[in-house]
Amino acid sequence: MDFARRFGTELAVSLLMHPGRGCIPAATGGPRDCFWSLRQGRETGYPPETPERIPMSHSSHACDHASGLAHQVREATGESAFRCYQCGKCSAGCPLAAEMDVPPSQILRLLQLGLPDAEQEALLAYSIWVCLTCETCAARCPQEVDIPRVMEYLRQESLRRGTMHPRAKDILAFHRSLLDSVRRSGRLHEVSLIATYKLRTGHLLQDVMAAPGMLVRGKLSLLPHSIDGKQEVARIFERTAEGKADHA
């Protein structure tokens, strides 16, 4: 079940049943308290009807979801999914939204829910792989949530757990082929990138007729160019690998 859509339905029902209360009260807590109320199964609005009701805050979430994916994202990136109050500006402005199965705002909603199935849905989303990290969403976010940074962590966690979307295999193959080319040559070599990508994906004949014309026009070089600082580039990869080992 799509938990983000389910929560959106619950929110709409709450507004219809209690139109006078509103969703985002002007008093303390704001949208985070509204979300807490619905998450606990109580469409209470304001003021609190029971003394044990606890306003939602970053500290209370750290206790409630200390082992959840949202907490892991915050520990690794410094970005809190609970800052998002679902204004939808990120999804409305994303240039790749039409290609996504789950909009960016709903990715954050899935993290907010803190449920295993919701977290699994976020990690299985094709959206985290088509994100361009163009920063349009981060620039438009009124809460200044760096969504591309969150997406990057979700990609890494998806790989670690082996829950990658089937359609993302070609994207991952391209990323790895590009990095392998830079690691070997110190810069991108298009021919080795294409060859490695085709071997990894099996798309041996895809766009093959474009190669002769590009070779004639000098757009492709059969041999990689030599550059200064090749060893420095290699050290970047080594330090990155060491950092991943320490993090694991």
Tens of pLDDT, residue by residue over 161-190, are: 999 999 999 999 999 999 999 998 899 999
Q: Taking residues 46-74, what's their average pLDDT?
A: 56
Residues 6 or more apart whose CB falls under 8 angstroms from that of 96 comprise 130, 131, 132
Q: Taking residues 201-228, what's their average pLDDT?
A: 88
Q: Which CATH class is domain 59-166?
A: mainly alpha
Cβ atoms of 68 and 114 within 8 Å: the answer is yes
Kindly report, as residue ranges, where domains of CATH 1.10.1060 are found in the chain.
Answer: 59-166
Q: What percent of the chain has pLDDT over 70?
A: 71
d(CA 234, CA 187): 10
**pTM for the whole structure:** 0.67
pLDDT band, very low/low/confident/very high, at 5 (cuts 50, 70, 90): low
Q: What is the mean pLDDT of the chain?
A: 79
Q: For residue range 135-167, what is the model confidence (pLDDT) as tens digits?
A: 999 999 999 999 999 999 999 999 999 999 999
pLDDT at 1 over 60: no
Lowest mean pLDDT among 14-23, 73-82, 92-101, 207-216: 14-23
d(CA 56, CA 59): 8
pLDDT at 107: 97
User: What does the angle CA 230 – CA 233 – CA 234 come to, to the nearest 5 degrees?
Assistant: 90
pLDDT at 242: 81
Q: What percent of the chain has pLDDT over 90?
A: 54
pLDDT at 226: 81
pLDDT band, very low/low/confident/very high, at 246 (cuts 50, 70, 90): low
Cβ atoms of 24 and 85 within 8 Å: the answer is yes
pLDDT band, very low/low/confident/very high, at 247 (cuts 50, 70, 90): low
Q: Taking residues 52-65, what's their average pLDDT?
A: 43
Q: How far apart are the first and last CA of the chain?
A: 32
pLDDT at 68 over 60: yes
Q: Taking residues 202-222, what's their average pLDDT?
A: 88
pLDDT at 123 over 80: yes
DSSP of 151-210, one letter per residue? Answer: HHHHHHHHHHHT---GGGHHHHHHHHHHHHHHHHHSS--HHHHHHHHHHHH--TTTTTTH
Q: Taking residues 86-97, what's their average pLDDT?
A: 96
Of the candidates 79, 94, 80, the residue with the CA atom closest to the CA atom of residue 35: 80
pLDDT at 99 over 50: yes
pLDDT at 116 over 80: yes
pLDDT at 34 over 90: no
pLDDT at 44: 38
